[in-house]
Amino acid sequence: MKLTTFRKYLNKVNIFTFQRNFIATRNSKHIIALIALIILLILTPIFLTLLKPQTITAAWFDDSWLYRKAVNLTNSSGSNLTAFQVSFTLDTATLISNGKMQSDCDDIRVTDTNGNLLPHWIEENNPGCNASATKIWTKVPSLPTSGATVYVYYGNSSAENVENGSNTFNFFEDFNGESLSSQWTNNTTNSTHSGGVFRINVGAARLTNALSFNLNDGYVLEGKVIYYETASNYSGTLTGVSSATYTQGSNAGADATVLYMKEMGSAGVYRWIGNGAIA
């Protein structure tokens, strides 16, 4: 073989070797890039899941209810509260018009985040059911300063009303029973009881037993009192347990916290606060 021919042969071999090595290197780079792409595709959803804020979804209370709404409760008292009554509003009018709720709100249920039923009561005529801001009261086992979440369920056409004011509040009376409940002692000589109204024409009624808590320990007492006509003497409503069933002079019977009293001979109503002592 001539030297020139041998050199050409060597050049061809070198070129072939270079091309083969180049191809092998290029293929290796493609393989590495492909592996990196596969790893990236696998890890990206994992990273996104880890970085995404986690939301806790409570288990459904009962499959018979089609809808629910989360309600966030706040606590600005500065301390954690237990067995505490709170209220919130719900646009029941829209839900009823959309066919998602019974027309009388009987299918409303309130639960905690664990699906445990909480007692509730819908405040009547303020504005009541089928309104844009129906006021619902519930009693939560605990309400930390960071707040809490409850769920309102609705959308069960066969559900019955389970409202229970007595289980929701420390004391409750709506006079909706067929007769005056045993928690009252009726000392009237002329009274009627019908349609959620206990009307006293002559005499007085009082709680049979003292309350199990002190009204002065931060409790809020709400009630609805109707004065039908003027009278020749004073009349009023005690919002606590008094030692007597009627108001007396010289502060007697004043161990109730607040008394709403109608002035003698007029329709004016005044708030009178006793000093907690019996004269």
Q: Please report, for residues 53, 73, 180, the alpha-carbon distance to residue 69 in angstroms, rounded to integers and kept in the order given.
A: 20, 13, 37
Of 116, 134, 168, which marks where a domain is finished? 168
**Angstrom distance (rounded) from CA 140 to CA 138:** 6
Q: Which long-range contacts (CB under 8 A, 24 or more apart) does 249-252 make?
A: 250/279, 251/275, 251/277, 251/278, 251/279, 252/278, 252/279
Asked whether the whole model's pTM tops 0.75, one would answer no
In a domain, 97, yes or no: yes
188-233 pLDDT, tens digit per residue, is 888 888 888 888 877 777 778 777 777 667 787 787 777 666 555 5
In a domain, 59, yes or no: no
In a domain, 81, yes or no: yes
Identify whether residues 19 and 108 lie together within a single domain.
no
- Residue 168 gets which letter from DSSP? H
Of residues 204 and 135, the one with the higher pLDDT is: 135
153-194 pLDDT, tens digit per residue, is 999 999 999 999 999 999 898 888 888 888 888 878 888 888
76-134 pLDDT, tens digit per residue, is 999 999 999 999 999 999 999 999 999 999 999 999 999 999 999 999 888 999 999 99
CATH number at residue 91: 2.60.40
In a domain, 83, yes or no: yes
